[in-house]
């Protein structure tokens, strides 16, 4: 039997299924965060202090907390926040998770983080340039001097942006989730790409479909550089990609569109890169 649900937030309202779909990445991303901090981060005397803006289901909060790091995260979606809080508690792990927005978040207790990370194109949810600048400035302000911002997002080639399809499959005992994400060709004047995710969930012999529609803001390499120039306290140190391979750096160009930027916070806000 199959039922269909359509809403702007459906897949984040179901953190368990979202979590299952992304689980394969978690180990690689965790290793990358630790590895890049060793290579390029500030000198540390204890565990990492990590902030994850838009932390979703908290899969990375859990994996970093389990390795002894201090983890804080926030998300706009209350279901994701509750799921992340519960998962840390269930594992007996420390961490703070709260509800907040990328564009105007605040961090508790005046903490300054060693690393802030925002992966898998989450930054593209911010739908205006002003919002993106505000979010980057807040991320920079949340970092200690020398701390790193890791920003992973899919770039757009406006001359060649055919519809794109990606499939992920997640499994747990008794549950199977097949997630198909489709991106439409970019709308260059509006700087948007229409996205659709369909999750086909099979649980206790029943199958249902949840569909989510949203727009991402698009970035060419030049548009991303122009954005970064507006936050001079962040300096681009290196560019990797969604393979999370520390040994392989690439240029910020369209040779490979899934880029992972490593940005370092300068000594003083306002210093030019």
Ligand X SMILES: C[S@@+](CC[C@H](N)C(=O)[O-])C[C@H]1O[C@@H](n2cnc3c(N)ncnc32)[C@H](O)[C@@H]1O
The answer to whether residue 122 forms part of the interface with ligand X (CB under 6 A) is: yes
DSSP-derived letter for residue 23 is G
The answer to whether residue 124 forms part of the interface with ligand X (CB under 6 A) is: no
The answer to whether residue 116 forms part of the interface with ligand X (CB under 6 A) is: no
Of residues 64 and 224, the one with the C-beta less far from ligand X:
64
Q: Are 233 and 270 in contact (CB under 8 A)?
A: yes
Q: How far is the CB of 121 from ligand X (least distance, A)?
A: 7
Q: How far is the CB of 198 from ligand X (least distance, A)?
A: 15
148 vs 135: CA distance, rounded Å: 15
The answer to whether residue 12 forms part of the interface with ligand X (CB under 6 A) is: yes
Give the range of 51-59, 156-164, 165-173, 260-268 binding ligand X by CB under 6 A.
51-59
Give the range of 120-128, 140-148, 166-174, 205-213 binding ligand X by CB under 6 A.
120-128
1 vs 202: CA distance, rounded Å: 10
Task: Please select the residue that binds ligand X; options are 14, 20, 21, 59, rule is CB under 6 A.
Answer: 59
The answer to whether residue 84 forms part of the interface with ligand X (CB under 6 A) is: no
The answer to whether residue 76 forms part of the interface with ligand X (CB under 6 A) is: yes
Burial 38-51 (b: 16+ CB within 10 A, else e): eeebeeeeeebbbb
Q: Angle at the Cα of 18 (from 14 to 24), degrees rounded to 5? A: 160
Q: What distance lies between CA 202 and its chain's CA centroid?
A: 27
Task: Please select the residue that binds ligand X; options are 102, 116, 195, 262, rule is CB under 6 A.
Answer: 102
136 vs 127: CA distance, rounded Å: 13
**E runs forming strands in the chain:** 4-7, 49-53, 70-75, 96-99, 113-118, 143-154, 164-172, 175-183, 192-203, 206-217, 234-241, 258-265
Q: How far is the CB of 194 from ligand X (least distance, A)?
A: 16
Task: Please select the residue that binds ligand X; options are 93, 120, 227, 246, rule is CB under 6 A.
Answer: 120
Task: Please select the residue that binds ligand X; options are 69, 101, 138, 191, rule is CB under 6 A.
Answer: 101
Give the range of 32-40, 56-64, 157-165, 233-241 binding ligand X by CB under 6 A.
56-64
Task: Please select the residue that binds ligand X; options are 10, 49, 51, 56, rule is CB under 6 A.
Answer: 56
Q: Which helix (H) or strand (E) holds 136?
A: helix 129-142
């Amino acid at each position: 039997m199959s039922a269909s649900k359509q809403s702007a937030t459906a897949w984040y309202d179901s953190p368990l299924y979202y979590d299952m779909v992304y689980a394969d990445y978690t180990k690689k991303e965790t290793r990358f965060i630790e590895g890049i901090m060793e290579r390029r981060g500030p000198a540390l005397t204890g565990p990492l202090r990590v902030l994850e803006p838009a932390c979703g289901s908290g899969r990375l909060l859990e994996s970093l907390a389990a390795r002894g790091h201090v983890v804080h995260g926030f998300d706009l979606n209350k279901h994701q926040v509750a799921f992340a809080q519960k998962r840390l508690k269930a594992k007996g792990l420390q961490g703070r998770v709260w509800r907040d927005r990328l564009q105007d978040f605040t961090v508790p207790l005046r903490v300054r983080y060693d690393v802030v990370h925002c992966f898998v194109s989450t930054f593209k949810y911010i739908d205006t340039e002003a919002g993106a600048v505000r979010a980057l400035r807040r991320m920079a302000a949340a970092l200690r001097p020398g701390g790193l911002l890791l920003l992973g997002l899919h770039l757009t080639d406006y001359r060649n942006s055919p519809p794109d399809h990606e499939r992920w499959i997640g499994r747990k005992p008794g549950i199977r989730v097949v997630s198909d994400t489709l991106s439409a060709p970019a709308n260059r004047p509006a700087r948007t790409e229409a996205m659709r995710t369909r999750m086909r969930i099979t649980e206790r012999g029943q199958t249902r479909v949840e569909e989510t529609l949203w727009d991402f803001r698009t970035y060419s390499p030049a548009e991303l550089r122009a954005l970064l120039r507006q936050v001079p306290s962040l300096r681009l140190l290196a560019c990797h990609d969604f393979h999370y391979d520390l040994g392989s750096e690439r240029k910020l160009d369209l040779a490979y569109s899934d880029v992972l930027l490593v940005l370092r916070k300068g000594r003083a806000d306002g210093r030019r890169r």
